[in-house]
Amino acid sequence: MPSNLPTYTNLVENGDEYTVSYCLDFLNKRLRVDDYLGNADAICKRIVEIAKAHALTKMFIKSREDDWQTFLSKGCMLEGIYKGYFNGGDAYCMALYDDLERRTSDYWIEEDHILKQVLALPLKPDLPLVPKQCTLRIARMEDAEQLSLLYDQIFQTYPTPMNEPEYVKKTMREGTIYYLIESPQQLISAASAEINTVYANAEMTDCATLPAYRNQGLMRLLMHALEDELIARNITCAYSLSRALSFGMNAVFFQMGYRYYGRLTKNCDIYDKFEDMNLWCKMLK
């Protein structure tokens, strides 16, 4: 990625037949349409032009139910369904590719095998105990540095610059909430909920636990805390994208009552390559 480019840019374009809100995500070489109004044909044509102009190799649209078949007829593929995304209405993830390598999954069968193992697990709706001498709490602005250090330790590459304290602070100012678990010595686990107040949904994301503290139910603990916070804020839909090659994170969401709704091919640059991401959704009470 050229160093003079921003990590991503959110834009709104008003055409004769449409209004479209999209993100030019340079870090992940993709164009993501988060919202739109108007003619689906014209929108599809326009986002292809924009993506080509910026050399982005994947485009995807969170389509409303009325439009997904129109996008399908324009060559888009249905990769997943965000259940309840639009104030209870489903969003259909319609994808287009401009690069064969980006379109082709290298691990699909292995990921199917991992998913099969996950779906055979027992559910674990219970609330785990906070480990002795550890604290579970909502993160504050002054925690940004510790959070960025945790993400830097865990991820070789990540879809957003979570290893930069200023970026973490920016997400907090924009409404993302973080919960963390700390021992007396250090921050050991964290996760966030990126809230969309317009459509009453939230993405459960930025999940990280130090290797020495894994398999202790910490992520389920954080998810329970985040869900309680979301319910208090009248958020009705929670969803997450988990690395399809990660048994652990997929297991966390399945065992907490999230359902699998598809897999997004080479969706983002995480760990050390473009990876397929499983989509998990849950309607919050």
CA neighbor of 149 nearest in space, from 188, 201, 96: 188
- Amino acid identity of residue 161, one-letter, is P
Distance of CA 281 to the CA centre of its chain: 11
- Return the SS3 of 32: strand
Architecture of domain 8-103: 3-Layer(aba) Sandwich (3.40)
β-pairing verdict for 237-243 and 201-209: parallel
Domain spans, the chain = 8-103, 108-283
- CA distance linking residue 28 with residue 181, whole number of Å: 29
- pLDDT by residue, tens only, the chain of 285 residues: 344 557 889 999 999 999 999 999 999 999 999 999 999 999 999 999 999 999 999 999 999 999 999 999 999 999 999 999 999 999 999 999 999 999 999 999 999 999 999 999 999 999 999 999 999 999 999 999 999 999 999 987 888 889 999 999 999 999 999 999 999 999 999 999 999 999 999 999 999 999 999 999 999 999 999 999 999 999 999 999 999 999 999 999 999 999 999 999 999 998 789 999 999 999 998
- How many angstroms separate the CA atoms of 200 and 204, rounded? 13
Closest CA to 92 of 281, 266, 270: 281
Q: Which residue has the tokens 């910490």?
A: 218
Q: Which amino acid, residue 33?
A: V
Give the dihedral sign, CA 168/171/175/176.
negative
What are residue 117's phi and psi, to 5 degrees?
-65, -40
**What is the model's pLDDT at position 2?**
40
Q: Supply angle C-alpha 44, 50, 54, rounded to 5.
A: 145
What HEC string does 8-29 produce?
EEEEEEECCCEEEEEEEECCCC
Q: Is 4 helix (H, G, I), strand (E, B) or coil?
A: coil
- pLDDT the model gives residue 44: 97
Task: From residue 132, give the alpha-carbon distance in Å to each of 137, 216, 257.
Answer: 14, 12, 26
Closest CA to 155 of 21, 25, 3, 270: 270
Rounded to an integer, what distance in angstroms lies between the CA atom of residue 151 and that of residue 206? 8
C-alpha separations of 75 from 44, 52, 78, 188, 215 in Å: 9, 16, 10, 44, 42
Start-to-end CA distance of the chain, whole Å, equals: 42
CB 8 within 8 A of CB 32: no
Helix, strand or coil for residue 114?
helix
Burial class (CB in 10 A: 0-12, 13-18, 19+), 178: buried
* pTM for this model (two decimals): 0.94
**Which residues partner with 191 through β-bridges?**
179
**The two domains 8-103 and 108-283 share their CATH topology (first three levels equal):** yes
CATH architecture of 108-283: 3-Layer(aba) Sandwich (3.40)
